[in-house]
Chains A and B, each alone.
Chain A
Amino acid sequence: DAKTTQPNSMESNEEEPVHLPCNHSTISGTDYIHWYRQLPSQGPEYVIHGLTSNVNNRMASLAIAEDRKSSTLILHRATLRDAAVYYCIPDALNRDDKIIFGKGTRLHILP
């Protein structure tokens, strides 16, 4: 399994963009990069995934480095509701057919 490195925690002001980094230097060429988040007292929820090209959806954008050894989840305008733990997970539900969670980044949003 590809190992990931994420900051333990980050802070951002409400209504400002947030860039959540993830290093996954051992990722294989066919592994997608998935992001999930877990709001307080909730189960994790899917955010976004991508392979090589940058991806956008209604929740966030995913910027993937050209060498694919890192990626950044971008929340364009953080709200208090975005306070959560964000998990970067290479190859979720693919080769091993399961999601292996790391410790993630705890994002604090300041009002």
Chain B
Amino acid sequence: GAGVSQTPSNKVTEKGKYVELRCDPISGHTALYWYRQSLGQGPEFLIYFQGTGAADDSGLPNDRFFAVRPEGSVSTLKIQRTERGDSAVYLCASSLGTEAFFGQGTRLTVV
């Protein structure tokens, strides 16, 4: 279907490595969100794009985390010098208004 697509679905990386997580939103959706979710917790807001610009990045935990959306559609979440505490499911969502549509997430495991 034409839902939000996230790749890869699973990523295992070594501590200290760099990773990129990709989100393909629903075509035409101007708003795009990144969340991360640890086991047993609700999704935690990271960053929100309106078009190409980051409208709110207040949830990014530190400067190792960065996200881009250069053409206002696909977005990439980048994590530098990964730590074991970064292990989580990273969720992407897109929206045109009152309802957000979420992808299946990328499960990141840092070993």
Residues of A within 8 A of B (CB): 32, 34, 36, 38, 41-46, 49, 85, 87, 92-93, 96-104
- Most B C-beta atoms less than 10 A away, residue of A44, A87, A97, A104: A44
Measured in the bound complex, the distance between the Cα atoms of B44 and A101 in whole Å is: 7
Number of A-B pairs, beta carbon distance below 8 Å: 61
Q: Which chain A residues border B25 with CB–CB below 8 Å?
A: none
Of all chain A residues, the one with the shortest Cβ separation from B97 is A93
Docked-complex contact B42 and A101, CB < 8 angstroms: yes
Q: Binding site of A, secondary structure by majority: helix, strand, loop or mixed?
A: loop
Q: Which chain B residues border A102 with CB–CB below 8 Å?
A: 42
Q: Which chain B residues border A98 with CB–CB below 8 Å?
A: 33, 45, 48, 56
Q: Which chain A residues border B56 with CB–CB below 8 Å?
A: 96-98
Q: A44-B91, A96-B56, A99-B93 are in contact. List 6 more A-B contacts (CB 8 A).
A: A42-B102, A43-B102, A97-B50, A97-B55, A98-B33, A99-B43
Docked-complex contact A92 and B100, CB < 8 angstroms: yes
Checking A34, A46, A97 against B31 with a beta-carbon cut-off of 8 angstroms, the contacting residue is A97
